[in-house]
Amino acid sequence: MKVLVINSGSSSIKFQLLDMRGEQVLASGVVERIGEDLGKISCWMHPGSSAQSRVEKVEKIADHQSGMLKVGEVLCGGQDGVVRSSEEIGAVGHRVVHGGEAFHQPTVIDEEVVAAIQANIPLAPLHNPANLDGIRVARELFPSTPQVAVFDTAFHQTIPQRAHIYALPYELYERHRVRRYGFHGTSHKFVAGECARLMGRELSTTNLITIHLGNGCSMSAVEGGCSIDTSLGMTPLEGLVMGTRSGDVDPALHSFLERAAGMNLALIDGMLNNESGLKGICGFNDMRDIHEAAGKGDERARLALEVQTYRNKKYIGAYMAVLGRVDALVFTAGIGENDPIVRERSLAGLEHLGIELDVDKNNRRYKEPGALHSGSSRVQIWVIPTNEELAIARESMSVLEETNH
Ligand code: AMP
């Protein structure tokens, strides 16, 4: 079966078409700058194979409807297309950011599911409307193809109350569903499964700390395959230091800034999401720029690196305490997969907890999974490239099989 994976954002649609026999990527691309004067569609056909080709078009893309039409055209178009017609696509899997408390599993999309995703818009006002646009248009374009929603929050629905309830008036939870939800769930679940497989163990008896460090960052305590705590909260702002997001701050910050700097809530919200994190400290949000600047003696860049890796270490310690026995730590996403310095600093001084890096292994480059622990480390340490598209495609397939579609 061929599965089309859609990640629809406010001004972009990322897509990947996979042939699930052999889990091969047939095409992968992005429609960007939807709604602007000039948009762009880029698509790799058969990426990684000797027959790969690239399509790139620059033209106005008025809305998600025309964006999805372009996706259909490049995938099915002429000799370059990877399918003859959209009929060949057996399922469409959608990434949906916020499933609230309603969704614990990937779910076949119907009107009720659309309404439930809509009901969660207040919890993810930037993401869920864009995800819904993608769903609406894909359902119109592929009316007879089953569509599945795969939620970023679903994997974390196993987090017990003691870890997901904030110490606020309980009515806020009852009336407004204020609680920790967690995000990056598809990635945490994927690398946890892969890690157990690579360790030759049953996931159900393995305890892991999964560390997703990309532009967004989060960490999860995974007990026997179930998330029992995670660093992102009600929104994707809490926890670790991210590219432009602050992570943990004192909740009194808002009222202080209102009084001291005359800032209103919208300004503070924008600042915490877009102008903070690594960027806030040193001006750069890309870790490669930070290393370059730090290498040239930029003290703020060094500080940003120190603040981020210190926070990582603090959360690893917390999740060691939560899990009791930890079998492995797993690094993933842009920084986690590629940055030996961040990994080393995040784990420095944790030898007393049984965490020992092998420096040579840590310094190698990893396109495939690799083990980084020393021979005497009690806790294994892995790099496992995340693959959210493949995870969404697999989950879409399995929910369709379970529901006999
Ligand atoms: P992601 O959100 O997973 O795509 O990760 C994006 C981030 O990964 C970028 O903003 C960089 O900070 C980081 N990154 C990507 N490649 C490297 C690299 N080779 N070394 C260090 N950081 C990297």
What CATH number is associated with residue 253? 3.30.420.40
What is the band of 79 on the pLDDT scale with cuts at 50, 70, 90?
low
- Say if residue 137 is in the same domain as residue 242: no
Do 366 and 223 sit in the same domain of this protein?
Answer: yes
Q: Identify residue 139 by its one-letter amino acid code.
A: R
Q: Do residues 67 and 39 lie in contact, with contact meaning Cβ atoms separated by under 8 Å? A: yes
- What would the two tokens of residue 157 be? 């629905």
> How many domains does the chain divide into?
2
Question: Ligand 1 mean position to 214 CA, how many Å?
Answer: 6
Q: Could you tell me if residue 168 is inside a domain?
A: no
User: In angstroms, what is the span from residue 78 Cα to ligand 1's centroid?
Assistant: 35
What is the structure's pLDDT at 189?
A: 98
CB distance 120 to ligand 1 below 6 Å: no
Give the residue numbers spanning the domain of 127: 2-151
Q: Let me know whether 249 and 383 are in one domain.
A: yes
Pocket test residue of 285, 335, 364, 367 for ligand 1, highest count of atoms within 8 A of CB: 335
For the ranges 46-50, 213-217, 218-222, which has the lowest average pLDDT? 46-50
Helices 340-347 and 299-323 pack at an angle, to 10 degrees, of 60
Q: Assess whether 269 and 130 both reside in one domain.
A: no
Contact of 329 with 320, CB cutoff 8 Å? no
69 lies in some domain: yes
pLDDT of 228: 98
pLDDT at 404: 80
* 213 CA: nearest ligand 1 atom: 3
The yes-or-no verdict on residue 15 having pLDDT over 80 is yes
Least confident residue range of 69-73, 101-105, 294-298: 69-73
Residue 157 lies in a domain: no
Q: Is the CB of 288 under 6 A from ligand 1?
A: yes
| Same-domain pairing of 217 and 68 | no
Average pLDDT of span 395-401: 95
Q: Are residues 332 and 241 in the same domain?
A: yes
Active site residue 229: no
pLDDT of residue 47: 80
Return the exposure string of 286-325: e unless at least 16 CB atoms fall within 10 Å of the residue's CB, then b.
Answer: ebebbbebbeeebebbbebbebbbebbbebbeebbeebee
Does the residue 99 lie in any domain?
Answer: yes
Q: 136 and 248: one domain?
A: no
Measured from the CB, is residue 337 less than 6 Å from ligand 1? no
pLDDT digits (tens, 9 = 90+) for 330-351: 999 999 999 999 999 999 999 9
| Residue 170 in domain | no
Does 24 map to a domain?
A: yes
Asked if 237 and 145 sit in the same domain, the reply is no
| Residue 192 forms part of a structural domain | no
Say which of 152, 229, 327, 339 is annotated catalytic: 152
Bridge-based pairing of strands 89-96 and 147-151 is parallel
48 lies in the same domain as 132: yes
Residues 147 and 210 in one domain: no
Domain assignment present for 184: no
- The rounded distance, in Å, linking the Cα atoms of 332 and 98 is 21
Same-domain pairing of 339 and 230: yes
Q: How confident is the model at residue 81 (pLDDT cuts 50, 70, 90)?
A: confident
Per-residue model confidence (pLDDT) at position 136: 95
**What mean pLDDT comes out for the span 268-272?**
96
pLDDT band at 401 (very low <50, low <70, confident <90, very high): very high
